[in-house]
Structure 1
Amino acid sequence: MTELRSNYRPGTSPWAVRRAQWRALGLTDEDMAKPKIAIVNSSSSLATCYSHLDGIAQAAREAVAEAGGLGFEIRTVAPSDFIHSAGGRGGYILSARDLISHDIEAAVEGAQLDGMVCLASCDKTAPGQLMAAARINLPTVMVGCGYQACGTFQGKHCDIEDVFLGAGHHAQGRLSLEDLTGMSENAVAGPGVCAGMGTANSMHMACEALGMALPGSTPVLADSPKMFEDVRAAARRAVSLVHEDLRPRDLLTPHAFENAVTLMLSLSASINSVKHLQAIAEEAESGVDVYGLYEQLADEVPLLAAVRPNGPDSIEEFDAAGGAATVMRSLGGQLHTDARTVTGRTVGENLEAAVPADGRVIRAADRPLGRHPTIVLVRGSLAPATGIVKLSVDEQRQTSFTGPAKVYEDPYSALDGLRGGEVQAGDVLVLRGLGPKGTPGMGMASRPVFALDGAGLTGQVAVVTDGQLSGLVNKGVVVGEVSPEAADGGPLALVQDGDTIAIDLTSRRADLLVPDGELDRRRQELAGSPEPGTSGTPDGHASRGWLSVYRRTVRPLQEGAVLSPRAQGDRR
């Protein structure tokens, strides 16, 4: 049996003071000798994503005890995109992912616990928890805590993304306040994450593909009997992992990341999965280039499901058809089935229990919905590192756009410009200063995209931004997460109104068609600016507090936007 790092030698100061604390909590000496498992809980009453986690944490703690372990619940920040995007120009969203990882490190490493059960819910919890697991490398099981039940409005399906899109339509006068209010009252019928193929469900399923969650556990309805079965099984397994000394870095191998990218492409998953998987790879010190994997595999992976809003099927139908495990079974030979998983078995061994594809909601690999990629990475003179485009599942899609730039420094100015008729059909709306450094924390660019849809300009106006987009955006030609970002000296900072921008998704390029000499002149002018490519608003560039720490230490998106200050000149 593995010696537990949490067991201190009797008579020492750490043993004595900890024993005094824990005896006062009602623990016995026998309890204190058991494997000590952190139950990572991001509970919060601010959002439905997290409102159910306390009950789940209690079930996990009981299961840890049944398996011979001692469970300790620890808390982290609990960011919800729809709630926490209100302040800091949206910078508290992505930055909270890294805060989660450091919350976990401080609690688990400080207390020298032995393993973890991580209760993943909204978008940033799963990647933040995986980042911590990869960094501290303690036996860990991830648990997806489920999607929310949705409602109906005026006889039609209505979920939270419909409300988000409806707000864009209302901003353009195409949806009444009464209807928007009715949608908001009916969209969410229970706790859990957004019910679609957004970032949360995508990352829950990525956990399974990485081998860090139990097979067949994602997606799942929040608070359902199946979810609680999975929670208890994961908690029991965490205790076994400590005894077996099976750790995240044993599982988070290059083959595991390739499996996760393959699954994401086959599902037309959230584009946010790219930077999150890269961040996990960085923390695992795996040497994996996740961006390169998306480019390499894009044309090889068949599209096997079309879950709302990518297609007509609901997440409930996808869940009933077998979920991630069934898709992975369909992918078969395109996965590294010899990759180890948290069960102690290989991917291939786990998938023997998966149900076969039903042929409708989940397709067989030889009868896919399509073979075109829906997550496309572009490069070019406007995006020398990368930009990301989410395309429609439908083969009939727009593949190119060329037009004059209309530049805005923040989403609210862009919305005002749309309302004022400044943006016309044929324009390329450029929204900059929203990258990880520029916001700081990476601002959300989705509101102008949805407002374009509300104005009937989808497909008639392209968007280029260094900000992040909703994991569900796939409307028109939208190039997001352009890197290098404007605040890091990227070409996006040089764009002026009227410049011609050309986007070609067939050749996967995004180019700024301005002579080099003119760009050099603009670059010299910007060199004298203290914060080129940013809006300079006090709220977005806090001189103190968490966002200022984030801005000083965040790495580029190609490194997952992890926090890791390096010596000047270190350009790894």
Structure 2
Amino acid sequence: MRSKKMTGGLEKAPHRSLMHALGITREEMDRPLVGVCNAFNEVIPGHVHLRTIADAVKNGVRMSGGTPMEFPAIGVCDGLAMNHEGMRFSLPSREIIADSIEIMATAHPFDALVCVTNCDKIVPGMLMAMLRLNIPAVIVSGGPMLAGKQKKQVSDLITVFEGVGRVKRGDMSETELAELEECACPTCGSCSGMFTANTMNCLSEAIGLALPGNGTIPATAAARVRLAKQAGMAVMNLLEQGITPRDIVTTDSVRNAVAMDMALGGSTNTVLHLPAVFHEAELELSLELFDEISRQVPNICKLSPAGHYHIEDLDAAGGIPAVMRRVADTGALHLDCLTVTGKTVGQNLDDLNADVLDPDVIRPLDKAYSPQGGIAILRGNLAEQGCVVKQSAVAPEMMQRTGKARVFDSEEDAVEAILGNGIKAGDVVVIRYEGPKGGPGMREMLTPTSAIAGMGLGESVALITDGRFSGGTRGAAIGHVSPEAAEGGLIGLVREGDSIRIDIPERRIELLVDETELAQRRQNWTPLQKEVTSPFLRRYAARVTSAATGGVMR
């Protein structure tokens, strides 16, 4: 056992003495030591209940003959960090989470690992650590929040974000918004739509590193606690069989993850996180693969923000296994991929009798919302290395559009203009110097996109940025423009009033300015250099790679 480096032999008597100080008996030391990384904190609604989940995991480990040892992980709540300097630390926290788990599980050589997670950067950070360490491991989430209700209208966090614009527009009173604040997020758990956290929890299941049910069982359900116990038992089974994450994560499981992402209409942040996760397994996931599979797999689910359903509805409709059964009929799903159950994807689906229980939530392939997947990769002179849009959440009239650029060098300036009635129908809002380097930290732009929707401009205004979007963003929001402005990307040369053509069906994005003019602009241009006071962010900006490659660290 790996843990014998710490507990075995005469020379480890001092180590055992320290273990005794923890209250651990010799019998417990003789069993496999299982690290339980718990992202519990009292800051994030998706994490506030994780003590219960971690305790259940530990019970499962003990039931199967192991000794659990719990340790913490940090987490950023993107909703609370939104639209201020704190958001610059969100994406970088992914790397800190992965690094800290590697540190803990190497300094204290656990035999296996269970990661208890929820929310945006925490899930991919933990997946990255699991693949980096490559010891038997399972990830289990705290589950999704239930949707809220206001006067019989279903609501969620995005309803509140968009409510700000509605108040500014005069469609909602401040009293109504205050009422909405109190009921839109009614329980613990990751925010209730197909936003980034829930997308990544669902894809963890599709990849095979989480048990069936991980993505959709509500945070408040007893089944979530039972799942956590099963995760503790499952990791002991993996240890016995010698199955590690890199046995599970292969080229085929990479394709499975992308196929499910397209069927679900997941968050555009997956285009950052999945390449970073698979990078740890020395597997490549290019933007070309996203686009290839998007053209093959139809979008059969429309959950908030693209539609009115929520994760609890997807769970009641059969969950991720039911979606996988549908996607398998396209030929895009590899059923022979191994999973943390010790069985293949196909065997799991058969054991569960996976089937669609509500064809309105999980549509048949011949009645798909779109014949293509939920995410599209665009290219053109404005994004030579690519950019991304959640096409499943774009209004039909915005799929092809030419508009006049309204240019902003920060999110704050753009929001001020949007809420101040400075943006009109037909405009293309350009927000630059918000990429991984230029931000630094690649902030999410949920506030400006929600403001556009709330102001009634969601079907007439596009937004383009070298930053990124929340999974809750809807509309013609095009992000991850690469190369970013800070690295000399053409987005840095856009001027007020320039024409920009967007053609999502043709996967094109073009700045309609002739090459002679662009060459003259470039001669007299130096990318904006923001003053960065944080030593951590300075280090991050110096080492982070392009959004086109997942924003991984050199």
TM-score in terms of structure 2 length: 0.95
1:542 to 533, 538, 541: 533
Q: In the aligned structure 1, how far is the partner of 2:184 from the partner of 2:419?
A: 27
Contact 2:147 2:192 in 1 (8 A): yes
**2:187 maps to what in 1?**
190
Contact 1:322 1:354 in 2 (8 A): no
* SS of aligned partner of 1:112: coil
Contact 2:378 2:386 in 1 (8 A): yes
Q: In the aligned structure 2, how far is the partner of 1:266 from the partner of 1:81?
A: 25
* Letter in structure 1 aligned against 2:516: G
| 1:305 and 2:296 are equivalent in the alignment | no
* Letter in structure 2 aligned against 1:123: D
**1:568 maps to what in 2?**
none
Pairwise CA RMSD: 1.9
| 1:506 and 2:505 are equivalent in the alignment | yes
2:545 to 524, 536, 555: 555
1:26 to 10, 23, 28: 23
**1:355 maps to what in 2?**
354
Deviation at 1:259, TM superposition (A): 0.3
* SS of aligned partner of 1:480: strand
Counterparts of residues 245-264 of structure 1 (less than 5 Å) = 245-264=242-261
* SS of aligned partner of 2:288: helix
Contact 1:41 1:119 in 2 (8 A): yes
Q: In the aligned structure 1, how far is the partner of 2:290 from the partner of 2:528?
A: 28
* SS of aligned partner of 2:42: coil
Q: In the aligned structure 1, how far is the partner of 2:345 from the partner of 2:533?
A: 46
Contact 1:169 1:175 in 2 (8 A): yes
Deviation at 1:543, TM superposition (A): 4.7
Contact 2:3 2:108 in 1 (8 A): no
Contact 1:433 1:487 in 2 (8 A): yes
* SS of aligned partner of 2:342: coil
**1:379 maps to what in 2?**
379
Counterparts of residues 479-490 of structure 1 (less than 5 Å) = 479-490=478-489
1:100 to 88, 94, 97: 97
* SS of aligned partner of 2:480: strand
* Letter in structure 1 aligned against 2:25: T
Distance change (3 Å), C-alpha of 1:505 and 1:123:
same
**2:469 maps to what in 1?**
469
| 1:342 and 2:333 are equivalent in the alignment | no
Q: In the aligned structure 2, how far is the partner of 1:285 from the partner of 1:211?
A: 17
Q: In the aligned structure 1, how far is the partner of 2:4 from the partner of 2:435?
A: 40
Deviation at 1:167, TM superposition (A): 2.1
| 1:204 and 2:201 are equivalent in the alignment | yes
| 1:457 and 2:457 are equivalent in the alignment | yes
Residues 15-45 of structure 1: CA deviation (Å, up to 9, x unaligned): 2332121101111122112211111111111
**1:408 maps to what in 2?**
408
Q: In the aligned structure 2, how far is the partner of 1:464 from the partner of 1:167?
A: 21
| Structure 1 alignment gaps of length 5 or more | 565-572
**1:58 maps to what in 2?**
55
Distance change (3 Å), C-alpha of 1:67 and 1:95:
same
Contact 1:370 1:393 in 2 (8 A): no
* SS of aligned partner of 2:403: strand
* SS of aligned partner of 1:372: coil
Q: In the aligned structure 2, how far is the partner of 1:196 from the partner of 1:439?
A: 27
* SS of aligned partner of 1:93: helix
TM-score in terms of structure 1 length: 0.92
Q: In the aligned structure 2, how far is the partner of 1:369 from the partner of 1:417?
A: 34
Residues 435-463 of structure 1: CA deviation (Å, up to 9, x unaligned): 11111111122212221222222222221
Deviation at 1:151, TM superposition (A): 2.5
| 1:223 and 2:214 are equivalent in the alignment | no
Contact 1:492 1:533 in 2 (8 A): no
* Letter in structure 1 aligned against 2:344: T
Q: In the aligned structure 1, how far is the partner of 2:552 from the partner of 2:404?
A: 34
Q: In the aligned structure 1, how far is the partner of 2:16 from the partner of 2:393?
A: 58
Number of equivalences: 550
Distance change (3 Å), C-alpha of 1:549 and 1:326:
same
| 1:426 and 2:465 are equivalent in the alignment | no
Q: In the aligned structure 2, how far is the partner of 1:147 from the partner of 1:285?
A: 31
| Structure 2 alignment gaps of length 5 or more | none
Counterparts of residues 115-126 of structure 1 (less than 5 Å) = 115-126=112-123
Deviation at 1:393, TM superposition (A): 6.0
Deviation at 1:89, TM superposition (A): 5.6
* SS of aligned partner of 2:533: coil
Contact 1:405 1:428 in 2 (8 A): yes
**2:72 maps to what in 1?**
75
Distance change (3 Å), C-alpha of 1:164 and 1:394:
closer
Distance change (3 Å), C-alpha of 1:5 and 1:548:
farther
Residues 32-87 of structure 1: CA deviation (Å, up to 9, x unaligned): 12211111111111121110001211121122111111111111111110123365
* Letter in structure 1 aligned against 2:386: T
Q: In the aligned structure 1, how far is the partner of 2:243 from the partner of 2:341?
A: 10
* SS of aligned partner of 1:126: helix
* SS of aligned partner of 1:46: coil
| 1:114 and 2:111 are equivalent in the alignment | yes
| 1:148 and 2:145 are equivalent in the alignment | yes
Residues 226-259 of structure 1: CA deviation (Å, up to 9, x unaligned): 1111100111111222222211111111100100
Deviation at 1:466, TM superposition (A): 0.9
* Letter in structure 2 aligned against 1:430: V
* Letter in structure 2 aligned against 1:296: E
* SS of aligned partner of 2:392: coil
Distance change (3 Å), C-alpha of 1:395 and 1:85:
closer
Q: In the aligned structure 2, how far is the partner of 1:369 from the partner of 1:287?
A: 29
